Structures are given as structure tokens and as C-alpha cells.
Chain A
Amino acid sequence: MTFFPPWPNCIVLNTAGKNTEITRSVLGAYRKPKPAVMAAKPKLWYFHGRGRMESIRWLLAAAGVEFEEEFLETREQYEKLQKDGRLLFGQVPLVEIDGMELTQTRAILSYLAAKYNLHGKDLKETVRYQSARANTWFFSKLCLPIRRLRSDAAFQPGGRGGDKGRCFLALAVKKAKTRYFPVFEKVGCGDPDFLVGNKFSWADIQLLEAILTMEELDASVLSDFPLLKEFKTRFSNIPTIKKFLQPGSQRKPPPDSHYVEVVRNILQF
């Protein structure tokens, strides 16, 4: 990139080898910043599908963090991870980040949220910050029962389309409509822009994910929740999230029979 100082060159250059105050300050104004150390990208180990890794993908994507993925396709891959001692409790998701091998979805989400400043308002050591953190935790956790129902649905005999699968999905939609969405709608009233602490937090991301996946199951699920509709529109347009929602992103599709087969084969159940 060519650099065109607004002053004649003689002022920018050292005159007579002396570093005058004026020169230093001008140089300081135009000096390029130290090149940032290229941090290694986080690496995600999971099956090629949503499951428990999807909320982690959402969080990284929303934070604008590029990440790599290794997909588990065979039992051998999984056993190798276990044998190498990389899975603390023998389970995935596994995320390699900052020299750590983190497992346990919530632990990973919490670390990433803290690292990329998605915990709500950034006030350290104040009750407000701590309560904001506590709030984001439980708002985000709320989406879990619905998610569990959805993923369990895929693993019922006949998959999501079978009798039991459809039952689980219907229950997920019902819970969303009657228990969880009303609360978020009400809280949205108090804080027009964001769920927690007037700053985009991981609770917002999780809620958006829950809304979108519920809409996949029932397009009218938001019909009684105008504030949530508005929330969804607003958040879907945030550049990083908008990018993640485009085809070709690392977002995964709903589980199909092939996914279920791979997971059953690898985890042997």
C-alpha cells in the first residue's frame, strides 16, 4: 500500500540524522502497527452434522472467528482420538484452542464467549457484570432442552419423520411456544436492543439459533411473538451472522438418516 504523507518528505525523513520531536511525532502518526501474531485457528472435531457442536460453530461464526473442522467419519478415527488421550471423558465435541484440548460443550462455549467478549457488558468484577454473566448462562442454557428434543428426534426409530421422531419435534415446538419464547419476548421488552447488558452476547446467538431451527420445524412458531420476530430480523442482518446463514458456510443441515447412521456406527449404539 503506497503511503502519501500530506507534508513534503523532508519533514518525515530524519534531517541530518537527528530524530527531532516533530519527526518522531509525525512518524508515530504514520507508523504501521506491529504485525499481529497470527493466532492458530481453533480446530473442531466432530461428526459432519449439527449435534452438540453447532452452537459452538454459531458462536465462532458470530464472533467472526475462522475455524477449521475435522469430521469423524469412521470408528477408527474416534478410537484414535481416545487412545491418544485427547478426549478427557472419551467424548466429542473436542475443540483445540490456545494450546488446550477442550471438551464438554458448555465449558467450550463459556471459554469462547469470554475470549471473544460475548458475555454481555464488559464490566469486570462488578455485580452487574457477574449478574449479566449469570443471565447469559441461563438464557443460553434454556435453548438446550429444545435442542435435546430435536437431536433425540433424529435418533428415534424412523428418524425425524417416524412416529416418535415427529412426536419429539412437536414437543420441542410446543415447549418453545409455551415456555421459552414467552419469557424471551417479555425480557425483550425491557431491553430493546440486546438480551443482556446492552451488548451482543452469546445468549443472543443461542436464541437466534433456537428461533431459526424452530422455524424449520414450524414456520408459524413466531406468530405470537412480534418482538422475537424483530429480534430475528435484526440479528440475521448482523454481517458475521448473515455470512454464516449463506449457503456454503460451515453451518450444518438438520440431521438426516446418513448422519444418524454414521454417529450410531462410531459411537456404537
Chain B
Amino acid sequence: MAGKPKLHYFNGRGRMECIRWLLAAAGVEFEEKFIEQPEDLDKLRNDGSLMFQQVPMVEIDGMKLVQTRAILNYIATKYNLYGKDMKERALIDMYSEGVEDLGEMIMHLPLCPPDQKDAKIAQIKERTTNRYFPAFEKVLKNHGQDYLVGNKLSKADIHLVELLYYVEELDPSLLANFPLLKQIQLYPPRQGRRVARSWAPVTAQTTLGTIFFGREQPADR
């Protein structure tokens, strides 16, 4: 039996968070090795573990994968979260890229110089309400299904839910006009620790019973 995937990153969200979400949604237990000192990163580089000297890096199935998208795509394929054929995958990719574009803007906000911050936040809010949320709301409305693609959970749904939480952290009112998006969001934050119990009605087709995220282990599946 293969060992658990091992994630190498800083102890924070950054570019590793979406990978954590995806593994968690797939019900895969994983280990984490946090980079806390510059020496930790140097060691990884000197060992030749980082192909392009960058993290995230995930040790999985005998490989040391770098590049967030490559890692996400591998995990999604492995755990059947990538649609059933090429066309579904194209849609999943398209939606995931849109989520990532907005997510990247939010992720970079802490690095924004203070005098530009307000303008940046305004831009994020504008894009959220005028570009991205309407697009996803429309997709869900058009087919009337619970999931974005193929009536089945995929990485696109997981990335979108993660994004919804970040937008909510920024400004909860942004979700107000998007009822379908609100519906796929799960439990509201409780005291900063958020745990999701179930993704969607558990049916015979649902392959995931429980999602967890954060450092807590699931009680049961």
C-alpha cells in the first residue's frame, strides 16, 4: 500500500491550500512537512527535490511533483475528480482557471502596498460580482444540477467552494445575489474553525461522504 502523500510547504495557505482541499475532498489522508526556516527550503533545493527550486512540492506515488496545477491535475485524475471524458475535462479546466484567476487576486492582496489596497479590493469585488459569480451562477442555473460539470463532483466544484469561503472572508454581502452559489457553500464559519460535514445529499452515486479541511482528522467517513 502506498504511503500517504507528503506536502512540503510553509505553514499557511498560499499555493498549497487548494491541494489540501482537493486531497481532503477526495478523502485522502496526507502528511505535511512545514518549511519554517530558510535552511529547510535550502535543504530541499540542495537535495534536488525541487525541480524548479520552488514549492509547493508533493511526494506522491514515488514522484516529487512540483507546480500546483500539475499536482492538482494528477490528484484529480487519480481520484476521479476530473470528469468522465475530454470534453468534461475541458469544462472543468475552464471553470478552474476562472476560479484561479479570481483566487490569485485575493491571494496577492496581503502583498499589496497599503496605498493601493483599497483600489485592489474594489477591483476584486467588481470582478466577483460582475464577471466570475455571474458566470458560475449561470452554469448552475442552465443545467439545474448540483455540480458544475457532469452531475458529479469534480475539482471545479471543490475549487469554487474554496473560493466562496475566501470571498466571504473578504465581504459576505458579495454572495447575496447568487442563490445557487450560496447553496453549494456549506456550513458558515464557526469561531474561525470551519468543518464541513457533508458535501451534498449522500446518494448511491456520491463517492465522498465527508469532507474535512484543516489540520483535524475526520472522525469517520
Chain A positions near chain B (C-beta within 8 angstroms): 85, 88-90, 98, 100, 102-108, 110-111, 114-115, 127, 130-131, 133-135, 137-138, 141-142, 179-180, 183
Contacts and interface: CB of A to CB of B under 8 A. Distances in A.
Interface of B: 51-53, 61-63, 65-67, 69-71, 73-74, 77-78, 86-87, 89-91, 93-94, 96-98, 101, 131-132, 135, 138
Given A131-B74, A134-B71, A142-B52, A114 B89 contact: yes
A93 B138 CA distance: 20
B156 to A, nearest CB: 10
B90 A111 contact: yes
A137 B73 contact: yes
B70 A104 contact: no
Given A106-B97, A133-B74, A138-B52, 18 more contacts: A85-B138, A104-B97, A105-B97, A106-B93, A107-B90, A107-B94, A110-B89, A110-B93, A111-B86, A114-B86, A134-B65, A134-B70, A135-B70, A137-B69, A138-B67, A138-B70, A141-B67, A179-B52
Contacts of B53: 179
B97 A102 contact: no
Given A88-B94, A107-B90, A134 B74 contact: yes
Contact of A138 (B61, B66, B87, B132): B66
A248 to B, nearest CB: 31
Contacts of B90: 100, 102, 107-108, 110-111
B87 A130 contact: no
Nearest to A142: B52
A104 B74 contact: no
19 contacts: A88-B98, A90-B131, A100-B87, A102-B94, A103-B94, A106-B93, A107-B93, A111-B89, A111-B90, A114-B89, A127-B61, A131-B65, A134-B73, A137-B67, A137-B69, A137-B73, A138-B51, A138-B70, A183-B52
Contacts of A115: 86
Contacts of A100: 87, 90-91
B2 to A, nearest CB: 10
A247 B66 CA distance: 38
Given A131-B63, A179-B52, A104 B86 contact: no
Contacts of B93: 104, 106-107, 110-111
Contacts of A104: 93-94, 97-98
B79 to A, nearest CB: 12
A179 B73 CA distance: 24
B74 A89 contact: no
Contact of B69 (A98, A102, A106, A130): A106
Contacts of B63: 131, 134
Contact of B135 (A88, A135, A141): A88
B80 to A, nearest CB: 11
Given A107-B93, A110-B90, A114-B86, A89 B131 contact: yes
A114 B53 CA distance: 28
A107 B70 contact: no
A130 B72 CA distance: 12
B70 A137 contact: yes
A36 B119 CA distance: 55
A189 B64 CA distance: 19
Contacts of A111: 86-87, 89-90, 93
